[in-house]
A and B are shown apart, each in its own frame.
Chain A
Amino acid sequence: MIYTIVYGFTIGAILYFISIGLSLTFGTMRVINFAHTLTYTIGVYALITLIALLKGYFALVAGLAILLVIPISYVIERFVIRRLYGESLDYTFIATFAISLIGVDAIKWIWGVNPYPMNDPIGKYLVFSGLSVPIYRIVIVLIAILLFFGLNLFFKKTIVGKIVVASLEDKEGVRCLGINVDKYFSIVFVLGSALAALGGVLYAPISSIHPYMGLSILLLSFAVVIVGGMGNLNGTFFSAFALGMVMAVTARYWSQGAETMVFIVMAIVLIFKPIDI
């Protein structure tokens, strides 16, 4: 049972990293961002390429991989997403989905389609009363909790954070304060993409690495965003862990149904709390 809980928390943490960006881009820019899979997957492939060169320095390589995603996400924002502000949701959906498909093909072209194996970078276990829990998973969960408090501080205490929170509520109002909102959207987008890459590099060692790995986790992350409330950062945190736990518990008794159950929960939430776009 303890392993199920740890597994649930790990998945929850990974979903949280990926969902923040989706929630923010939807909340501020009204863009449904399928290109999020791309930054996530590119982070992972940058990781496995760099780790071959710098064996044994996982944290350093993970940091570098995330840094590499920043310019890529900036280009996506500057040349595609920015043109979608104020457009209908269908366009944002099609354009960003196209980016993710182009990205997947580019990855297949550069790295091939075969899955890459990777080892747990810590490889040690915490043993108590006969149960062993991988330390790496605990580290992931701790990073997610730290990030939660860090982001809360950032959005409450800094002006840039406040502007983002205000834009979630009323974009035009922020514009009237003489603030170039688009510039802050850029920051938000890059921040969200970097966090998706963080999720990717942390998850890579304990999952399978292949060009389509981003797609299924992206759909799960959309469920997290919908359950947590679009643009609601605290809600995203709690819904990520709740749905992670739903997956873990379902997988324990019915392994094929784990992902399905997430969408059933999402459907139930939508019945009682429909989103208005």
Chain B
Amino acid sequence: MPEILAAEGLSKHFGGLIAVNKVNLSIKKGEVAGIIGPNGSGKTTFFNLLSGFFPPTEGRMFLFGEEITHMPPYQRVMKGMVRTFQLVSVFNSMSVWENLVLSGIRFKERYTSARKFFFLSTKDDEIQENCLKALRLVGLESHASTLTSELSYGSKRLLEIGIALSLNPKLLLLDEPLSGLSDVEISEVLNLLHRIKSDLTLVIIEHKLSKIVNLVDRLCVMNEGHIICEGNPNHVLCDPSVRECYWGKEEIDQGLLQEKASA
């Protein structure tokens, strides 16, 4: 399968702190990759480097074979790489529908003259259609006109993913999409992820390992800025180095471990 995203020797130093240390990672088209690791292991910093929020101290990144190391964030989105945030990032002062409408600009900007564009209405057909598609996908049709600040945290998370999907991404980076959600909400989000994974490539950072183990094709474990182990989830879970760094500090899902070990 062709490679979509590649990081080569990617590092990020904050003063003396090395948050991400010479990480190599390659994401293949159509796969679902999970990145796990204890708090402060550099997962989110790694995402911030990939999405261009800050420049890497060293190393290079490639998206669809093209180097993107110094490309600004918005251009990476235009190329098809979209991310979500650990803390839900939606526009609270707007309605659910307006949140989605904003993303419509991405495919209009290039085809419309400057004058038309400046007064581009939120009622534009193409934009409306695109929003409706995303809204149906995440199942928030009944909340279209609700003010976003009135939504539950779980619905906000669905909306955030909906916004990301309305940008028609080829590669979606999800930063802890299940954090802060109730069990019911978690299953809603997981259902959504199962539904969309056949059409795109996903990279998921997650803490609740047991929840995503059935979703991902490949697991990467990060610790102190390194990827210490990667591969098939079952294989990774049984790796002694992973157990030592990760399970030692985190609550172990014993049942899951035994199940995986016996399988």
| Contact A169/B72 with A158-B118, A178-B77 known, Cβ cut-off 8 Å | no
A residues 184-239 with Cβ under 8 Å of B?
A: 187
Residues A157 and B121 in contact in the complex (CB < 8 Å), given A165-B93, A179-B105: yes
- Pairwise interchain contact A172-B74, C-beta atoms closer than 8 A: no
B63 to chain A, nearest CB (A): 13
- Taken together as a complex, chains A and B put the C-alpha atoms of A160 and B118 apart, in Å, by 6
Name the interface size band of chain B: 35 or more
Residues A178 and B83 in contact in the complex (CB < 8 Å), given A170-B89, A173-B90: no
Q: Between A and B, how many residue pairs show CB distances below 8 Å? A: 85
- Residues of B with C-beta under 8 A to A169: 91-93
Name the segment of B96-104, B177-185, B234-242 touching the other chain: B96-104
B252 at interface (Cβ–Cβ under 8 A)?
no
A172 and B106 within 8 A (CB) = no
Judged by a CB distance under 8 angstroms, whether B64 is at the interface is no
A173-B119 Cα distance, complex, nearest whole Å? 22
Q: For the complex, what is the distance from the CA of A166 to the CA of B122, rounded to whole Å?
A: 14
Interface residues of A, dominant DSSP:
helix
- Contact in complex: B89, A177 (CB < 8 Å): no
Whether A158 pairs with B122 at a CB distance below 8 angstroms is yes
A163 to B103, CA, bound (A): 9
Residue A89 is within 8 A (CB to CB) of chain B in the complex: no
Q: Judging by beta carbons under 8 Å apart, are A162 and B102 in contact?
A: yes
User: Within 8 Å of chain A (Cβ to Cβ): is B6?
Assistant: no
Tell whether, in the assembled complex, residue B94 and residue A175 are in contact, meaning their CB atoms are under 8 Å apart. no
Asked if A177 contacts B122 (CB within 8 A), the reply is no
Residue among A163, A165, A176 making CB contact with B105, cutoff 8 Å: A163
What is the CB-to-nearest-CB distance from B169 to chain A, in angstroms, rounded to a whole number?
9
Q: How far is the CA of A187 from the CA of B95 in the complex (A)?
A: 24
**What are 9 inter-chain pairs, A to B, with CB distance below 8 A?**
A159-B101, A159-B121, A159-B127, A162-B122, A163-B102, A165-B91, A166-B94, A173-B89, A178-B74
B residues at A contact (CB < 8 Å): 51, 53, 72-75, 77-78, 82-83, 85, 89-94, 98, 101-106, 108-109, 117-124, 127, 163-164, 167
